[in-house]
A = this chain, B = another copy of it.
Amino acid sequence: MPENTIDTTIPVLGESKIPSPILKSGRYSNLQCFVTDKQRVLIDVDMESINHLLDRGREIPAFELAGAREKIYFDPSKLRCAMVTCGGLCPGLNDIIRAIVLELSFGYGVRHIYGVRYGLQGLIPKFGHDLMELTPAAVADIHKSGGSVLGSSRGSQSIEEIVDSLERLNLGILFMIGGGGTLMAANRIADAVDRRGLKISIIGIPKTIDNDIHLISRSFGFDTAVDVATMSIRGAHNEAVGYPNGIGLIKLMGRHSGFIAATAALARQDVNFVLIPEVDFDLEGPDGFLAALKERLALRKHAVVVVAEGAGQKFFDSADSSRDASGNIRLQDIGLFLKKAITTYFRDADIPVSLKYIDPSYIIRSLPANANDNVFCSFLGRDAVHAAMTGRTRFIIGYWNDQFVHVPMEASAGKCRRIDPFGKLWLNVLEATGQGPLIRFQ
């Protein structure tokens, strides 16, 4: 239970002394809408865990509640802010960019807001990407399109050159929207900012379509991804039932965790096998996947298989593994591997099958967010601004126990949220698919 010992303190650049200008023009009493620093959200809501801590006289760990504060650190009239989107596309990027710009502009009156083009490349002079000036008018409709209006890129860049740029641009806040690699870079940038004695807030907004960030119960874009993934499952199901021994095989996103695969399977309820990184399985042998698939076909004449991209990596020679520009281990393609393995297995067994393979990844990543993610991203972006204006730094905006919270970058970095093979989600997948006894557990 490592959460018990988490340090949930968020560093600040200095004391917040300036009264917040939020909503002050109206008759709406802004005092009543501010969050205080004492408002904290328990990390663990399980009664037993809490009692266990209380019995030992230990403090109950809790995150700061996100939201507007009564006093702020930065002077809006002088502040210059920038934001950057890094790594793969994810539904909701434009919603967040828009929310940050609108909150900075209308909530706080900040007038100098910039978008960094093409990820961290945009802060490295040699790439020659100009900054975009971001105004409320410029971002008014961007949430209706997918992708990122700033563009993105993969790959690390020189931390010192980045901080040179931040200094040269005289920035007070940098919002970094990206995945694990980006958040680690954010940490290193914050280190360099500290070393130089600069007053620049570095805020992370965690992006992972796989929904697998430690201490973050929901990441933006995931809901949209599941929504659209079900369309592929519908297709695979129709193809499977359409032919004698029809097999629909869908590869979904999920490098380290199978949340998209498992959740989409629950949403559509037409899936017979879900293969995820968290649950080991064999191909061959009486308990292997192929024998189970054969049994299923004998029984029902069709099968739908969903595989997360990170599943079954044990089948590949680790010597082959390389890393992509973002530093992620380049996964071998389990989808194509399974396609071949299934085809070969049934050909050798002289059983004609009709296998259709679907890989919808890029269709999903590039979509506009659905309504649920629209709303979620709107909160994420605005809360990032509220926190940043108080001079907080080195944190990410998280979501925990139905609340938006501040999570220290260190607490979440480098760790991955994964499906518990004995938990409720996976139990329901086993029940919905009926694949239960066919898969061995780690």
| Nearest B residue (CB) for A66 | B424
Report chain B residues within 8 Å CB of A375: 226, 263, 266-267
As for how many copies of this chain the complex holds, the number is 4
Chain A 37-70 residues near chain B, CB threshold 8 A: 38-42, 45-48, 50, 54, 60, 62, 65, 67-68
Q: Please report the C-alpha to C-alpha distance between residue A248 and residue B440 in the assembled complex, in whole angstroms.
A: 39
Q: Please report the C-alpha to C-alpha distance between residue A107 and residue B401 in the assembled complex, in whole angstroms.
A: 29
Q: Least Cβ distance of A117 to chain B in Å?
A: 8
Contact B33 A427 (CB under 8 A): yes
Query: In this assembly, does A356 line the interface, its C-beta being within 8 Å of a C-beta of chain B?
Result: yes
| Nearest B residue (CB) for A436 | B26
Report chain B residues within 8 Å CB of A32: 422
Q: When A238-B145, A263-B375, A374-B266 are in contact, do A118 and B243 touch as well, CB less than 8 Å?
A: yes
Q: When A127-B244, A243-B118, A437-B26 are in contact, do A47 and B54 touch as well, CB less than 8 Å?
A: no
Contact B41 A46 (CB under 8 A): yes
Query: In this assembly, does A360 line the interface, its C-beta being within 8 Å of a C-beta of chain B?
Result: yes
- Lowest 4 A-B CB distances belong to which pairs? A26-B437, A147-B238, A238-B366, A40-B47
Q: A41-B45, A89-B238, A235-B363 are in contact. List 19 more A-B contacts (CB 8 A).
A: A28-B430, A32-B422, A33-B427, A39-B46, A40-B47, A46-B65, A50-B60, A68-B427, A106-B431, A147-B239, A151-B243, A153-B243, A232-B363, A237-B366, A239-B365, A269-B374, A360-B360, A360-B363, A363-B363
**Residue contacts A-B, CB under 8 angstroms, 5 given:** A23-B430, A143-B269, A151-B241, A153-B243, A379-B424
